[in-house]
């Protein structure tokens, strides 16, 4: 136990030394130690009138200690999955869930927070009052008021949910890994970019086969459906991607998520009912900016009203260009060709101008211009994979503000998508300041022997998006982890900094910083930049209705769940598509079975948050359009009123403090090139 790297009390996680056999021992030992120390604290609190920091800081430290142990485990199972690590991770989920439920049901702890909340002055640190307010709310949402039998049932539900949600994600990963497609005919891979063909050829060579062996990762899927001239190849890859972890995935029959979806929705509904809410959507919204299911539904329907006819026109234009009715596996292919015709640009023509190192250099310059923060590489930091890098943020005085790991490349042991996750939280106590640390994760193609990682402009936008999350986590000035960084921020506002940041990726001054041909260093030609800017809103309405389809589906399956009838998953999806969608997937499409955001991640009954926060972000960026892209006073106000406050303040009030008024949808519609209906 002494040599267990997960139990280190300071410094960055020793990722290169963490082994599956360390996990369960470290987690169980930490849970036991936390329980014992909490009992001592509560015994003292029963006897004394404790001040805020004397009472709450030790509890914050307990939470942070568990986070230091569990965060690297959770991260590794997303980026370096193995059967042994997965088994250790899954073995700990019930114990962690049990502990979290115990904390939420601890009547004495609740009384301590309630007593502190009734004092005239909560505490000396910024965010103390809000911490108490949110903690008391969360006690109620955890069922502290329930009778013993219902508390016991709630506890069981939370344990079962944690296991089911992890299994859902793991089925998606395993199902994708089970798919492969061997092609030996060179005519069938025409149009597929070299960044996908080269590793596919290497896999085939290793397997002793001619031609190309494709796997089902995100870069391969996007590249094939966008560029492959062979329609059957596009359909094969589309079908593989669209049936992952489902009853239609004949390539991985043991990973069907159908039963898990029913279990997850049933458990969520029962948990909400126990706490006193009619459905899980209403329960979820208790912690959001939006106040009711009706408010969210009306918000989404309003955006549908403004965008659906525009999306129909975009699809009609595309089909006229193609000369026929299109199937879903044709859309990206012909869209790329139409975009090239209209704007003389294509993703593959742009890619040489966006080598990842150049993009990062430009991004770091943007951060410095906005916030006066330098981003510096740090060598020799322990990591889980050779391509991982570590950077630190340094302010104008030379003080380290925080740091972040980057993991940019797709692997079979890594889940798809892009995300930011917390590695360490900001915490100040008597021993000093622990600076926050984040993970910035994407899924790009590996560089080859003679070519760096070349990304599309859309992928550059993704990097900017995730950097917005990183800055939100790292620039916090709040010293209490539970309301610092992204913690305590309503889920429908947590995307504000990321979506705000991605808007910069379209500005000429920023594109100039982030681009340069990987062979010649030549900047992106002005004519191509102009075309890129013109293309910004190409098919923006189609993209809008696609997100609205996902959001309404998520909201409805959680708001309308009825135990007597089950999820009605496919029926509700069909109804949503009738009301919203313009492009209709085939009957065998099972996108919901790989919808990890809502069945495995934190977006359950909250997928609408992307659009909700996009309204905030578009309105915030409009202020910079008015004042100047790098206006120092405005950037300082955004940093102070939004990025630094964490969850220490009501976000609606914070937005008004920055913008001078509440947000409205007009800025988003204008930014998307969509006219009000």
The encoded tokens of residue 215 equal: 């796997």
Q: How many CA atoms lie within 13 A of 473 on its CB side?
A: 24
Based on its alpha-carbon atoms, the radius of gyration of the chain, rounded to whole angstroms, reads 25
3-state secondary structure 586-624: CCCCCHHHHCHHHHCCCCCCCCCHHHHHHHHHHHHHHHH
* CA angle centred on 295, ends 290 and 298, rounded to 5°: 135
Q: At what angle do helices 569-579 and 540-559 cross, to 10 degrees?
A: 140
Rounded to whole angstroms, the Cα distance separating 353 from 227 reads 18
> What is the rounded distance in angstroms from the CA atom of residue 261 to the CA atom of residue 277?
21
Both tokens of residue 575? 């109804």
Q: What is the DSSP string of 65-97?
A: HHHHHHHHHHHHHHHS--HHHHHHHHHHHHHHH
CB neighbour list of residue 320: distance below 8 Å, 6 or more residues apart: none
> Please, what's the b/e burial string for 493-515 (b: 16 or more CB within 10 A of its CB; e: otherwise)?
bbbbbbbbbbbbbbbeebbebbb
Measured distance CA(372)–CA(417) in Å, rounded: 30
Handedness of CA 464, 470, 475, 480 (dihedral sign): positive
φ/ψ of 169, rounded to 5, equals -60, -40
User: Is-contact 382 11, C-beta < 8 A?
Assistant: no
- Nearby residues of 199 by Cβ (< 8 Å), 6 or more positions away: 445, 446
Take residue 8 and report the two structure tokens written for it. Answer: 């280190």
> Residue 196's closest CA among 78, 384, 351, 420?
351
Contact by Cβ (8 Å): 92, 26:
no
Among 459, 466, 495, 502, which one carries the catalytic annotation? Answer: 466
Residue 441's beta-bridge partner residues? 407, 419
Q: H-helix or E-strand containing 407? A: strand 400-409
Concatenate the DSSP letters of all residues of 315-334 into one string: HHHHHHHHTS---HHHHHHH
The two structure tokens encoding residue 277:
């809410």
Question: What is the biggest distance separating any 2 CA atoms in the chain, rounded to whole angstroms?
Answer: 80
DSSP state of 400: E
The residues, any chain, with a CB within 8 Å of residue 397's CB and separated by 6 or more, are none
Q: Give the helix ranges, DSSP H, for 344-434.
A: 347-350, 356-371
Q: Which long-range contacts (CB under 8 A, 24 or more apart) does 143-148 make?
A: 143/104, 143/105, 143/274, 143/275, 144/104, 144/105, 144/106, 144/107, 144/110, 146/105, 146/274, 146/275
Instruction: Supply φ then ψ for residue 184, to 5 degrees.
Output: -110, -15
466 is an active site residue = yes
Which residues are catalytic, by number?
A: 466
């Amino acid at each position: 136990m002494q040599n267990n790297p997960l139990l280190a009390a300071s410094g960055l996680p020793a990722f290169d030394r963490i082994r599956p056999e360390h996990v369960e021992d470290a987690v169980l030992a930490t849970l036991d130690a936390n329980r014992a120390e909490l009992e001592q604290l509560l015994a003292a609190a029963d006897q004394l009138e404790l001040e805020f920091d004397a009472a709450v800081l030790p509890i914050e430290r307990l939470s942070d200690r568990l986070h230091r142990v569990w965060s690297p485990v959770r991260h590794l199972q997303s980026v370096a999955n193995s059967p042994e690590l997965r088994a250790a991770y899954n073995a700990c989920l019930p114990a962690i869930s049990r502990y979290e439920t115990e904390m939420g049901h601890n009547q004495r702890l609740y009384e301590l927070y309630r007593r502190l909340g009734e004092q005239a002055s909560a505490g000396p640190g910024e965010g103390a009052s809000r911490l108490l307010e949110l903690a008391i709310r969360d006690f109620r949402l955890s069922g502290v008021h329930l009778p013993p039998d219902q508390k016991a049932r709630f506890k069981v539900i939370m344990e079962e949910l944690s296991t089911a949600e992890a299994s859902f994600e793991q089925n998606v990963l395993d199902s994708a890994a089970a798919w492969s497609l061997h092609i030996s005919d060179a005519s069938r891979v025409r149009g597929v970019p070299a960044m996908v063909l080269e590793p596919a050829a290497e896999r085939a060579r290793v397997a002793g086969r001619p031609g190309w062996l494709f796997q089902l990762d995100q870069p391969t899927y996007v590249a094939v459906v966008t560029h492959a001239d062979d329609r059957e190849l596009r359909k094969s890859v589309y079908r593989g991607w669209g049936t992952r972890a489902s009853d239609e995935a004949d390539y991985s029959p043991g990973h069907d998520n159908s039963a898990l979806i029913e279990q997850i929705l049933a458990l969520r509904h029962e948990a909400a009912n126990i706490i006193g809410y009619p459905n899980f959507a209403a329960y979820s919204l208790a912690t959001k900016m939006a106040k009711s299911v009706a408010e969210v539904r009306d918000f989404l329907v309003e955006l549908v009203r403004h965008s659906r006819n525009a999306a129909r026109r975009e699809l009609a234009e595309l089909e006229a260009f193609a000369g026929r009715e299109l199937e879903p596996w044709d859309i990206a292919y012909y869209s790329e060709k139409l975009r090239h015709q209209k704007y003389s640009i294509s993703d593959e023509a742009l890619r040489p101008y966006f080598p990842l190192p150049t993009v990062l250099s430009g991004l770091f310059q943007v951060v410095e211009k906005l916030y006066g923060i330098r981003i510096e590489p740090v060598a020799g930091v322990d990591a889980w994979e050779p391509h991982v890098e570590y950077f630190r943020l340094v302010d104008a005085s030379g003080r380290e503000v925080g740091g972040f790991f980057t993991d940019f490349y797709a692997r079979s042991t890594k889940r798809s998508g892009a995300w930011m996750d917390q590695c360490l939280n900001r915490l100040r106590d008597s021993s000093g300041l622990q600076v926050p640390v984040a993970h910035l994760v994407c899924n790009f193609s590996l560089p080859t022997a003679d070519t760096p990682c070349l990304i599309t402009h859309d992928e550059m936008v993704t990097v900017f998006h995730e950097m917005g999350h990183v800055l939100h986590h790292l620039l916090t000035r709040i010293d209490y982890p539970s309301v610092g960084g992204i913690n305590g921020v309503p889920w429908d506002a947590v995307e504000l900094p990321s979506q705000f940041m991605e808007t910069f990726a379209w500005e000429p001054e920023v594109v100039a910083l982030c681009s340069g041909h990987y062979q010649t260093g030549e900047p992106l030609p002005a004519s191509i930049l102009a075309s890129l800017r013109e293309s910004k809103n190409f098919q923006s309405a189609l993209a809008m209705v696609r997100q609205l389809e996902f959001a309404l589906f998520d909201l409805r399956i959680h708001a309308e769940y009825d135990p007597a009838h089950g999820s009605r998953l496919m029926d509700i999806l069909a109804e949503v598509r009738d009301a919203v969608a313009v492009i209709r997937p085939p009957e065998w499409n099972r996108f919901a079975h790989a919808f990890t955001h809502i069945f495995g991640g934190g977006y359950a009954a909250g997928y609408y948050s992307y659009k909700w926060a996009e309204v905030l972000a578009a309105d915030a960026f409009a202020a910079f359009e008015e004042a100047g892209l790098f206006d120092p006073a405005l950037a300082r106000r955004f940093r102070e009123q939004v990025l630094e406050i964490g969850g220490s303040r009501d976000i609606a009030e914070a937005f008004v403090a920055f913008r001078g008024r509440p947000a409205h949808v007009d800025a988003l519609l204008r930014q998307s090139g969509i006219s009000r209906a």
